[in-house]
Chains A and B, each alone.
Chain A
Amino acid sequence: MVLELQKPRPVWQIMFSTHHTDVGYLYTVTSLAFLFMAGVLAMVIRTHLFFPGEGVLISDSVTFNRIFTVHGSTMLFLFALPFAAGIGNYLVPIMVRYKDMAYPKLNAVAFWMVPVGGALVWLGFSDTTWVAYAPYSIIRAPGPAADMWIFGMKILGISSILSSINFIVTILRCKHPDLPLRRVPLFAWSMLTVSLMTVVAMPTFAAALVMMLTDRLGVSGFFNPAMGGDPIAYLHLFWFTFHPEVYIFLLPAIGMMYEIIPRFSRKPLFSQGSGVFAFVMLGLIGFASWGHHMFSTGMDFTTKTVFMIGTLAAVPASGMHVFNFLATMWGGRIRFDAPMKFMVGGIALFFSAGAGGVLNTAMPLDFITHGTYWVVGHMHLFLTGTIAFGFVGMMYYIFPLFTGRMYSEKWASIQFILMMWGTVQVFFTQHILGLEGMARRVYDYPTDFTSWTQLNQIATVGAWILGASFVIFLAQLIYYSSKGKEANMDDPFKLGGKYYYPYQAKTPHHTGY
């Protein structure tokens, strides 16, 4: 699959290789497979909500809960994280000019934990929701599904810690001596930032998972109110990991924008230093805002104020990124090929999602929006609008490197239009639904509220459009990777610059045996 300069290798040799391009390729393909699987679940959920009161597709609320739980867990842990790790594996060693990742075998181990964790999550099909709040998850969520979910998350957490350690060491210790750290390309910087964040944030969740498991076994009562535990403690542990995790999902997408925007603007990056600074700032500020997920749990006013300011502090750093992109594009000879289209669309939606986030962190508004579809809309606007746009754009950009072939610019443009349209239609509508008071995670809603029905149906049509765009994406990936035009490997996008050429490929595989 991976571009092979010498004779093609057997598939098993790619699968058991420890070379960074092979592992990166495996990561990418696995994460895309999970993306489409979780996407099917999303389509089922939205189609179900198109017909209130009829139980179309999903016949009971527990199944509904199971579906959105697995949809959420998959999109976050089996798509967003592995995809970033995949592209990172592919590009970071090239960017820091090293022959491979620092620990190739560790790299392969980290990858092979992903399918195992994925299998546990998908086989159990737990109904805890992806946040698995106590006390439901400890006294009521049926086993073995919830236990499998806990172990799956545990394995995926360890996998992301291992790959983070690998990225940190590769970037800090193995970069070429001629390359000062501040000159390391910003995508590698984004991977460095998120890796450091993962190493700090993830152990908290790992601890919470162990506590949850022993609580489920009835031997401890950390989060079990009947045994004197505190469910709010779980929220603190969970969000201490998962607010930083929001930035861990986001920053690689921003890094990909830094990779693509200057090339397609055919102009040097406006400011490397401000990009580095903004990454580091976001990496720090990400840890100062977890409490904003819990404003309605009875926090005192001072704590809420601190977390509100901590959240707002992410705005300047995010703004620095956006201005950096705009200043890079300003006056450039921009080529709107597919990757650039997705990146520009991603910036626009990043701005909208960020604006919604700022409103959300204002305490008074948070009490209105908490637990409603507003939150669903906000979170998905970030994840689809910014992160998935960045990832899809990057996928098109890196497509020639993976396959040696070109995708179809026409179909990519159609996908872009549908994806942009669908994203706006689903998730903007969900914001309005939330303000009208519709709770999130509901299986059904009364037909008497005609505006709920109308807005849900608008959102569902949007979701179908979004789904169609991803069907086009999948069809393209399959068709053009085997039938596409052969790419000019020196400059497949005719940008007049250098494409990543895997110069290490002369000895492309030191297979792990």
Chain B
Amino acid sequence: MSHSEHEAPIHRTSPRRMGKMLAIIIGIQIVGGLLFFSHYDFWNSYLPIAGKLQEQGAITGGAAQGQATGKTVNVSLKFIESPDFKTYAFNALSGQDRNPEIHANVGDKIIFDVTNSGKSFHAFAVTDSKEGPGPAIEGTTVGTADNPMKPGAKGQATFVPAKAGEYYYICAVPGHREMGMEGKIEVSEASSAGATSGATVTPTGNKVEFSLSFVMSTDFKEYAFNALPGQPGHNPDIKVKSGDTVTIHIKNDSKSFHSFGVVTDPDNPTNVLWNSAFKSPDNPMKPGESGDVTFVAGAPGTYHYICTVPGHATMGMDAKFIVE
């Protein structure tokens, strides 16, 4: 259809209308700009809740710093490179001094004195990841990959391991770890806590049997195994050898509900070791009920056999389970 069929004249865009449109657009932009700049600090003012929770430790991602309770270990490290920039390392390019291995216990305070003695940019970090440039444990970094240590720069970082295991001190600049800037930190449990790793072991076939019963005082204030406190046979120590197949005959001689388990930490009854749980707090033994549980005792150490119903262990149903 062509334009000639229309009788009315064509009204074309006029400067006035163009001006109106520009005024609307520019007006919106000015109002928006005023809003934006007058509240400049507001727009980026808070961390998301997930980030806040993480900072408070409600969500823990990976390894974290622990409480310093042990000795202080001083380590001095230098970033060095071979002249052809093909080999990177800490302290020495080869030999014993290269990437020295650090041994420490949980709670020890390891202080790193870091110097960039190379010609390139580096960043120091401690991580528990076995490969790649991180993630770094908070507070253990000197420089970052984005803002690295320049040649000659020095810094200090502190690392207090919270858990036993293998950690690594590395250069956090991507690629440098792979080229050799990586050293191991072996962290073992502090000696006072005993070597209660809770690890499972292969059964030796040796079988041992024990009998236990849950007992309670008539006023429901004292809880114990076999006999009330002060009476003979109260909370007997159970001694077994690592790898023994242990069978325990359990009887509930009390008027309340109970369940059985071997744990490392009686304050944390949910973490029952070696499938040693008999019943559970959700589905406990009723008064008078009895049963057997059979499990293989794991790594040597001093453990606890407890009533896993929350609160019962602290009220007395907590005795030693020693694995030799």
- Chain A interface (Cβ < 8 Å from any Cβ of B): 1, 3-8, 11, 29, 33, 37, 61-62, 66, 115, 119, 122-125, 127, 138-148, 215-218, 221, 224-227, 402-405, 446, 478, 481-483, 486, 489-490, 498, 501, 503, 505-506
- List the B residue with the shortest CB-CB distance to A499: B3
Flag if A138 contacts B50 (CB, 8 Å): yes
Query: Which residues of A have CB within 8 Å of B49?
Result: 216-218
Give which listed residue, A37, A142, A147, A489, contacts B29 with CB less than 8 A: A37
Is B75 interfacial (CB-CB < 8 Å)?
no
Flag if A405 contacts B13 (CB, 8 Å): yes
Given A122-B36, A144-B45, A224-B12 contact (CB < 8 Å): no
User: How far is B4's CA from A483's CA once the two chains are assembled, in angstroms?
Assistant: 24
Given A218-B50, A224-B59, A501-B1, A404-B12 contact (CB < 8 Å): yes
Flag if B50 contacts A490 (CB, 8 Å): no
Q: Give 9 CB contacts A-B under 8 Å.
A: A4-B11, A29-B21, A123-B36, A125-B36, A143-B48, A217-B50, A218-B49, A481-B13, A486-B10
Flag if B50 contacts A11 (CB, 8 Å): no
Flag if A225 contacts B61 (CB, 8 Å): yes
Is B218 interfacial (CB-CB < 8 Å)?
no
Flag if B48 contacts A216 (CB, 8 Å): yes
By Cβ-Cβ distance, the 7 closest A-B pairs, closest first, are: A226-B61, A404-B12, A216-B48, A482-B15, A139-B51, A482-B18, A218-B49
Flag if A123 contacts B35 (CB, 8 Å): yes
- List the A residue with the shortest CB-CB distance to B47: A142
Q: 1/0 per position for B12-54, CB-CB distance to A under 8 A? A: 1111011111101100110010011000001111111111111
Is B282 interfacial (CB-CB < 8 Å)?
no
User: How far is B1's CA from A221's CA once the two chains are assembled, in angstroms?
Assistant: 60
Chain B residues with a Cβ closer than 8 Å to the other chain, count? 45
Give which listed residue, A122, A123, A127, A146, contacts B48 with CB less than 8 A: A146
Flag if A142 contacts B44 (CB, 8 Å): yes
Flag if B32 contacts A122 (CB, 8 Å): yes
Query: Which residues of B have CB within 8 Å of A148?
Result: 43
Flag if B10 contacts A216 (CB, 8 Å): no
User: How far is B146's CA from A8's CA once the two chains are assembled, in angstroms?
Assistant: 58
Instruction: Known pairs A123-B32, A225-B61; list 14 more (Cβ under 8 Å).
Output: A5-B10, A61-B146, A123-B35, A139-B47, A143-B45, A144-B42, A145-B43, A216-B50, A218-B50, A226-B60, A404-B10, A478-B22, A482-B19, A489-B10
Query: Which residues of B have CB within 8 Å of A221?
Result: 50, 59
Is B8 interfacial (CB-CB < 8 Å)?
yes
CB distance from B58 to the nearest CB of A (A): 8
Query: Which residues of B have CB within 8 Å of A404?
Result: 10-13
CB distance from A447 to the nearest CB of B (A): 13
Flag if A11 contacts B20 (CB, 8 Å): yes
Is B191 interfacial (CB-CB < 8 Å)?
no
- List the A residue with the shortest CB-CB distance to B6: A5
User: How far is B8's CA from A5's CA once the two chains are assembled, in angstroms?
Assistant: 6
Flag if A490 contacts B61 (CB, 8 Å): no
- List the A residue with the shortest CB-CB distance to B23: A11
- List the B residue with the shortest CB-CB distance to A217: B49
User: How far is B138's CA from A140's CA once the two chains are assembled, in angstroms?
Assistant: 14
CB distance from B159 to the nearest CB of A (A): 20
Query: Which residues of B have CB within 8 Å of A37?
Result: 29
Give which listed residue, A3, A138, A144, A405, contacts B43 with CB less than 8 A: A144
User: How far is B3's CA from A148's CA once the two chains are assembled, in angstroms?
Assistant: 47
Is B192 interfacial (CB-CB < 8 Å)?
no
Query: Which residues of B have CB within 8 Å of A405?
Result: 12-13
Given A124-B43, A142-B46, A215-B50, A11-B24 contact (CB < 8 Å): yes
- List the B residue with the shortest CB-CB distance to A125: B43
Flag if B10 contacts A227 (CB, 8 Å): no
User: How far is B10's CA from A142's CA once the two chains are assembled, in angstroms?
Assistant: 53
Flag if B48 contacts A6 (CB, 8 Å): no
- List the B residue with the shortest CB-CB distance to A400: B12
Is B2 interfacial (CB-CB < 8 Å)?
yes
Query: Which residues of B have CB within 8 Å of A6?
Result: 8, 11
Given A4-B11, A144-B42, A139-B48 contact (CB < 8 Å): yes
Flag if B35 contacts A138 (CB, 8 Å): no
Give which listed residue, A5, A33, A498, contacts B11 with CB less than 8 A: A5
- List the A residue with the shortest CB-CB distance to B4: A490
User: How far is B179's CA from A279's CA once the two chains are assembled, in angstroms?
Assistant: 48
Query: Which residues of B have CB within 8 Å of A217?
Result: 48-50
Query: Which residues of A have CB within 8 Å of B29?
Result: 33, 37
Given A1-B13, A3-B12, A8-B11, A503-B22 contact (CB < 8 Å): no
Give which listed residue, A66, A486, A503, contacts B12 with CB less than 8 A: A486
- Give the most central of B8, B12, B59: most A CB within 10 Å: B12
Flag if B17 contacts A482 (CB, 8 Å): yes
CB distance from B63 to the nearest CB of A (A): 12
CB distance from A133 to the nearest CB of B (A): 14
Query: Which residues of B have CB within 8 Å of A224?
Result: 50, 59
User: How far is B32's CA from A147's CA once the two chains are assembled, in angstroms?
Assistant: 18
CB distance from A506 to the nearest CB of B (A): 7
Query: Which residues of B have CB within 8 Å of A29?
Result: 21, 25
Flag if B25 contacts A145 (CB, 8 Å): no
- Give the most central of B11, B13, B14, B21: most A CB within 10 Å: B13
Query: Which residues of A have CB within 8 Å of B15?
Result: 482-483
CB distance from A432 to the nearest CB of B (A): 21
Given A119-B32, A140-B51, A217-B50, A478-B12 contact (CB < 8 Å): no
Query: Which residues of A have CB within 8 Å of B13?
Result: 1, 3, 402-405, 481-482
User: How far is B256's CA from A233's CA once the two chains are assembled, in angstroms?
Assistant: 48
- Give the most central of B4, B21, B35: most A CB within 10 Å: B21
Flag if A1 contacts B6 (CB, 8 Å): no
CB distance from B5 to the nearest CB of A (A): 8
Given A4-B11, A404-B11, A490-B2 contact (CB < 8 Å): yes
- List the A residue with the shortest CB-CB distance to B26: A33
Query: Which residues of A have CB within 8 Å of B9?
Result: 5
User: How far is B44's CA from A148's CA once the two chains are assembled, in angstroms?
Assistant: 11
CB distance from B171 to the nearest CB of A (A): 17
Query: Which residues of B have CB within 8 Å of A141?
Result: 48
CB distance from B46 to the nearest CB of A (A): 5
User: How far is B44's CA from A224's CA once the two chains are assembled, in angstroms?
Assistant: 21
User: How far is B51's CA from A226's CA once the two chains are assembled, in angstroms?
Assistant: 10
Query: Which residues of B have CB within 8 Å of A3?
Result: 10-13
- List the A residue with the shortest CB-CB distance to B55: A139
Query: Which residues of A have CB within 8 Å of B35?
Result: 123
Query: Which residues of B have CB within 8 Å of A61?
Result: 146
- Give the most central of B4, B10, B15: most A CB within 10 Å: B10
- List the A residue with the shortest CB-CB distance to B46: A143
Give which listed residue, B1, B18, B54, contacts A226 with CB less than 8 A: B54
- List the B residue with the shortest CB-CB distance to A220: B50
Flag if A33 contacts B25 (CB, 8 Å): yes
CB distance from B88 to the nearest CB of A (A): 17
Query: Which residues of A have CB within 8 Å of B62?
Result: 226
Query: Which residues of A have CB within 8 Å of B61?
Result: 225-226
CB distance from B185 to the nearest CB of A (A): 22
Query: Which residues of B have CB within 8 Å of A446?
Result: 121
Flag if B6 contacts A506 (CB, 8 Å): yes
- List the A residue with the shortest CB-CB distance to B5: A503
User: How far is B41's CA from A71's CA once the two chains are assembled, in angstroms?
Assistant: 20
Flag if A145 contacts B11 (CB, 8 Å): no
User: How far is B10's CA from A78's CA once the two chains are assembled, in angstroms?
Assistant: 32
Query: Which residues of A have CB within 8 Å of B121?
Result: 446
User: How far is B31's CA from A115's CA once the two chains are assembled, in angstroms?
Assistant: 14
Query: Which residues of A have CB within 8 Å of B52?
Result: 218
Flag if A123 contacts B11 (CB, 8 Å): no
